[in-house]
A = this chain, B = another copy of it.
Amino acid sequence: MISTDFERRRLPIDGAFTIARGSKTESKTVVVRIENGARTGTGAAAPDSRYGETIGTVTAVLPDLLAAVESVDDPLSLDRIDRRLRGVVHGNPAARAAVSIACHDLAARRLGVPLCRQLGLAPADAPPTSYTVPIDDPEMVRERAAAAIDDGYPILKVKLGTDRDRELVEAVRAVAPETTIRVDANEAWTPHEAVEMSAWLADHGVEFVEQPVPADDPEGLRYVHEHGALPVAADESCRVLADVPEVADRADIVNLKLMKCGGIREAIRMVHAARAHGLEVMIGCMVESTASIAASIHLAPLADYADLDGSLLLAENAYDGPTYEGGRVTMPDRPGTGVRPTE
């Protein structure tokens, strides 16, 4: 017998989080709980209006999604649950991801092992996470980068897509001469700007460029991939499984996020499809609660690059679990995702 519930939470961000698309000061989330006997699986949604979701749409579809889980009534039939969820509603990936995470948490708790272990993965195989430097004044960007270096982060991901992009990169390089830097334009550049920036960024030792152009310009992405000096990672351009073959000759790396693709099983499918095309894989996140990011941490051993600092940006977190040390993200050795409500 499976029972379910969910609740909205507002998690304030420490300061503001600004990218090319806009700025926010809190992360609105919906926490999902799925109970079976003495065990509870927990997940959470971090809806993003970029992908058509709000707290309202998540809470609107969750009752039907959770009814589908209850109808399967078997916490270990994760693939069947996944198919039922996809049958309930198209799109709505964050809502489905919340349910998927809670189900996988519950299943691994039932097996008595951390989720990564059920999946056959070894935590030590995960790549270190980058630390995200959001858009701000060059002075603030420099401070933020310097603080991250002091905290031992070996990789910085610098958000670009402003009219001062070069200043921002120079500000970071000034305090981080040897650090690996990745940049993310969040669709802000034109293809020509992107190729020009790519050459300049290559001269400044940047590792790769994420989502240089809008997702609705696939030929623009191809142009940047063909003419740019740096490898290209597709984020907004690669949401779900069917997108992987589409971007295979337009990018070098795909950035997978549970909140874009709709759940753990779809993310794993995407990893494997990416490998079939010789693409590298990044596992990323939104600004989101530990209750959801924990699942991505368990998947990180499948990836070449990790960008899993989304919960560090929160001033409050409803759940705890991960520890961050010099870019290494570790979950406690507890069954399931290992998250617990914050005391």
Inter-chain pairs besides A79-B302, A80-B121, A245-B245, 17 sampled, C-beta below 8 Å? A76-B113, A76-B117, A76-B120, A76-B122, A77-B122, A79-B122, A80-B122, A107-B120, A111-B111, A111-B118, A241-B275, A244-B276, A245-B248, A245-B277, A268-B272, A270-B272, A272-B272
Interface string of A237-250 (1 = CB under 8 A from B): 00001101100100
Chain B nearest Cβ from A139, distance in angstroms: 44
Contact B245 A276 (CB under 8 A): yes
Residue contact B265 to A276, C-beta cutoff 8 Å? no
Residues of B within 8 A of A136 (CB): none
Tell me if B273 and A125 are in contact (CB < 8 A): no
What residues on B are CB-neighbors of A277 within 8 Å?
245
* Number of chain copies forming the complex: 2
**Contact bitstring A28-48, B, C-beta under 8 A = 1, else 0:** 000000000000000000000
- Binary interface encoding of chain A residues 263-292 relative to chain B, with 1 for a CB under 8 A from any of its CBs, else 0: 001001111110111100000000000000
**Which residues on the B side are within 8 Å of A302 (C-beta)?**
79
Q: Does A304 lie at the interface of the complex (its beta carbon under 8 Å from any beta carbon of B)?
A: no
Is A191 engaged at the interface, CB distance under 8 Å to the other chain?
no
Docked complex Cα distance between A117 and B108 (Å): 11
Quote the shortest CB–CB distance from A343 to chain B (angstroms): 30
Smallest Cβ-Cβ distance to A244: which chain B residue: B276
Q: How far is the CA of A76 from the CA of B121 in the complex (A)?
A: 7
Which chain B residues lie closer than 8 Å to A107 at the CB level? 120
User: Are A121 and B269 neighbours in the complex by a CB distance under 8 Å?
Assistant: no
Q: Show the binding face of A for B, using Cβ within 8 Å.
A: 74, 76-80, 82, 107, 111-113, 117-122, 125, 241-242, 244-245, 248, 265, 268-273, 275-278, 301-302
Contact B118 A272 (CB under 8 A): no
Task: With CB as the reference atom, state the residue of chain B lying closest to A122.
Answer: B77
Q: Is the CB of B269 within 8 A of A74?
A: no
Q: Which of A121, A272, A278 has the most CB of B within 10 A?
A: A272
Q: In the assembled complex, which residues on chain B have CB atoms less than 8 Å from the CB atom of A248?
A: 245
Given A113-B111, A245-B245, is A125 in contact with B272 using a C-beta cutoff of 8 Å? no
Provide the bound-state CA to CA distance between A248 and B275, in Å: 15
**CA of A220 to CA of B119, assembled, Å:** 39
Smallest CB separation, A300 vs chain B (Å)? 12
Which residue from chain B places its CB closest to the CB of A121 in the assembled complex? B79
* A120 touching B78 in the complex, CB below 8 Å, given contacts A111-B113, A245-B248, A248-B245: yes
Instruction: State which of B79, B120, B242, B270 has its C-beta within 8 Å of the C-beta of A77.
Output: B120
Q: Which of B79, B125, B245 is close to A120, meaning CB atoms less than 8 Å apart?
A: B79
B117, B119, B122, B241: which contacts A272 (Cβ < 8 A)? B241
Nearest opposing residue in chain B for A246, CB measure: B276
Chain B residues near A301 (CB-CB < 8 A):
79-80
